[in-house]
Amino acid sequence: MTRPRGRDVAAAAVFFLLASVLFTWPLATRLSSGLPDLFDDKLTAWIFHWDFHQIFRDPLRLFDANIFYPARDTLAFSENLFGAAVFGFPLYAAGLSTLFVANVLMLLGMALSGLAAWALAREVTGDPLSALVAGVVYAFVPWRLAQLPHVQFQWGAFLALLLLFLLRTLESGRRRDAALFGLFFAWNALTNVHYAVFSGLLVLLVLAHGFLARERAIFFPRARAVALAGAIAILAVVPFYIPYARASRTYGMVRGEDEIAFFSGRPVDFLTAGPQNKLYAPLTQRWAHAEGDFFPGLTALLLAALALRRLRGPAPERAAPAPPPRRRIARGIDALIGGGLLLAAAAALLERPVLGPLKLRDPGRIVAIAGALAIVRLALAFPRRSRYADLGDFARRTRVGRVPFLFLSIAGLGVLIAFGMHTPFYRFLVQSGGALFRAIRVPSRGIVLFDLALGVLAAWGLARATAGRSAVRRTAAIAAALLLLTFEYRAFPIEIGDVREQPAPVYRWLRTVALRGGAVEWPMNVEIEPEHVFRAAVHWKPIVNGYSGFGPPRYSALVALLAEPRIPDSVWAAQRELGASLLIFHASEMSGQTKPRKYLDALRRGISLGKMSPLGVFPRPE
């Protein structure tokens, strides 16, 4: 492994900044007037600004955000995004708008993801030019572009960097590398909850590979340094995760298995590239599924296949078989695995959760345990006719090489996570892992690990294919590969939704008044609430409204009252119980309502019943 030079890093940084503009065009021309998505992007824009607003005002109450009033820990209803938000703090301090900073952070997240994957590929291939391919695959693969409404998933830089410094620590044992691993492990967890859980599985896989493939005397001291750095990182981020546990207990926020299964990937998702991709969408959208779009393009797949072909060495000499005691234990494990699989098959065929004294919630649990036992069995001894003594011998002497085999394993881990509840292994984690894996609503996003590994392997294939050629020919071949990737990935035209740069006059007024309790904004529905949350960054007053992955029960009850054909008079008591003292009625937002007059009728009745009194009217240009 080799270290990149500063000049290479600077050139790669410029490349990926320009690439982030290219792949999201025309977003760079609309930083202050539009968003790629008018729902989740408005939520994340508000979250970024709330992190800046609150961390310097009252950091101990960071999670008591000013939406869903009077509920507590409302920031924990979504991602807190703090690790990405800090990059916007100087821009907020300079007075730039919520909208502008959110768009800049999206572009920056994509650029840094590409740069981090480039650094990882540069480390393992030693080729800074070919490594550009890894960054393009990782940062701009169709799945990533399909995630434009979810800004946090553009921030994959720290996932790649923690892997880079984890590999460096196991290779060199340097404390600096271990410290940087811990830093990026923590930063990743502060940026994206999904990536935090995925990175934990990634680290376990890399350590298991190191345990098998390295000398024990070298591996254990370095693994202890990794464990220490990881433990410190976890302690550092625990305060950011306690509110999630507290909110889950308070509001019963638990993901059901059916919901997790719906957002689990399927093999057919590898055939879809998302509606944004104008090259493949007409051919692949027939198989589209929510949160799918795994197809990484033909160029990346062909380059990765080329890497495996070029890296493949001669067949190794046959190793001496494992010692007899280990083979005897392995045969005993074989018997356990066989018996367990027969039991699982019987339970599945008979559709009975109880077989004699055994209670089986899911026969797949037996399959998952049998799979784990199979790994233990192979770690003890391979079958007698194999060229390898055991799994450790295979990891050390595999024909593709130790490090390429690791990246193949990472790709496999990404697929396993992405398929989620459709595999017995992830289902076992959800059923047995408590709140940790139930916090992951969309397991299919684990495909990010596959894309990272694929990008590195593709860069490796390009580096091997162009090695030994003249500088001109190498540059031309690499440029051709990058052009092919761009042709496959670019998502023109990305639609940018219009967002008013200037907030409505009522919000500027609200910023200036002392408010007792909170404000409630009408109408309340899924289409309108993101705008109310987005504009909450103008005044920072508490509002009953909200938009997130969860809603408190009393908020949901109020929304249900307002959704009735005739809004009942009990709505006034419900709003008072929530602590609302001010009602803002947006007449201009009524165009999408099926029965707009019901709000006007409710207002007239409220005034006549003495439930409220008008304060004023704030005209808007439209």
Separation between Cα atoms, residue 556 and residue 306, nearest integer Å: 54
Asked if 534 and 56 touch (Cβ cutoff 8 Å), the reply is no
Res 355: pLDDT: 47
For residue 159, is pLDDT > 80?
A: yes
Percent of the chain past pLDDT 70, that is, above it, reads: 95
DSSP state letter for 315: P
Separation between Cα atoms, residue 13 and residue 15, nearest integer Å: 5
- Find the mean pLDDT for residues 434-453: 91
Q: Which long-range contacts (CB under 8 A, 24 or more apart) does 245-254 make?
A: 245/435, 246/72, 246/73, 246/76, 247/63, 247/72, 247/73, 247/74, 247/76, 247/77, 247/550, 248/435, 250/72, 250/73, 251/71, 251/550, 251/552, 251/553, 253/77, 253/550, 254/435, 254/438
Q: Is 99 helix (H, G, I), strand (E, B) or coil?
A: helix
Res 433: pLDDT: 73
Q: Torsion angle, CA of 534/535/541/545, rounded to 10 degrees?
A: -60
- Find the mean pLDDT for residues 535-554: 94
Separation between Cα atoms, residue 191 and residue 184, nearest integer Å: 10
For residue 69, is pLDDT > 90?
A: yes
Residue 553 makes CB contacts below 8 A (sequence gap 6+) with: 251
Look at the block and give the residue holding tokens 């809603």. Answer: 551
- Integer-rounded Cα Rg, in Å, for the chain is 27
Here the tokens at position 296 are 């990484």
Separation between Cα atoms, residue 614 and residue 567, nearest integer Å: 19
Q: Give the residue from 49, 32, 70, 7 showing the smallest Cα distance to 517.
A: 70
Q: Which of 38-47, 423-432, 441-450 has the lowest mean pLDDT?
A: 423-432
For residue 1, is pLDDT > 70?
A: no
Q: Give the residue from 209, 194, 153, 156 showing the smallest Cα distance to 408.
A: 209
Asked if 558 and 524 touch (Cβ cutoff 8 Å), the reply is yes
CB hemisphere CA count around 192 (13 angstroms):
23
Q: Is 303 helix (H, G, I), strand (E, B) or coil?
A: helix
pLDDT band for position 344 (50/70/90)? confident
Between the alpha carbon of residue 244 and those of residues 78, 254, 369, the distances in Å are 9, 11, 30
Asked if 234 and 102 touch (Cβ cutoff 8 Å), the reply is no
Beta-bridge partner residues of 285: none
For residue 75, is pLDDT > 50?
A: yes
- Find the mean pLDDT for residues 401-419: 96
Here the tokens at position 283 are 């051919």
Q: Give the residue from 450, 368, 39, 418 showing the smallest Cα distance to 263.
A: 418
pTM attached to this predicted model: 0.95
Name the range with the highest mean pLDDT among 178-187, 344-353, 547-556: 178-187
Q: Which of 348-352, 408-412, 488-492, 611-615 has the lowest mean pLDDT?
A: 348-352
74-93 core/surface letters (b: 16 or more CB in 10 A; e: else): bbbbbbbbbbbbbbbeebbe
Asked, as a colleague might, if the bond just before 493 is cis with ω within 30 of 0, I would say yes
Q: Give the residue from 220, 129, 148, 104 showing the smallest Cα distance to 464.
A: 129
Residue 337 makes CB contacts below 8 A (sequence gap 6+) with: 370, 373, 374, 377
Asked, as a colleague might, if the bond just before 523 is cis with ω within 30 of 0, I would say yes
Res 57: pLDDT: 96
Amino acid, single-letter form, for residue 26: P
- Find the mean pLDDT for residues 170-190: 97
Separation between Cα atoms, residue 514 and residue 536, nearest integer Å: 15
For residue 418, is pLDDT > 90?
A: yes
For residue 76, is pLDDT > 70?
A: yes
The residue among 314 and 12 whose pLDDT is bigger is: 12
Evaluated on CA atoms 370, 376, 381, 386, the torsion sign reads: positive
Q: Give the residue from 162, 155, 202, 153 showing the smallest Cα distance to 182.
A: 162
pLDDT band for position 2 (50/70/90)? low
Angle at 128 between CA 124 and CA 131, to 5 degrees: 65
Average pLDDT, the chain: 92
Q: What is the pLDDT of residues 20-37, one digit of tens each?
A: 999 999 999 999 999 999
pLDDT band for position 439 (50/70/90)? confident
pLDDT band for position 610 (50/70/90)? very high
Q: What is the pLDDT of residues 240-289, one digit of tens each?
A: 999 999 999 999 888 888 999 999 999 999 999 888 888 888 888 888 88
Separation between Cα atoms, residue 253 and residue 245, nearest integer Å: 9
Percent of the chain past pLDDT 90, that is, above it, reads: 76
Res 4: pLDDT: 62
Q: Left if phi > 0, otherwise alpha if psi is -120 to 50, otherwise beta: which for 272?
A: beta
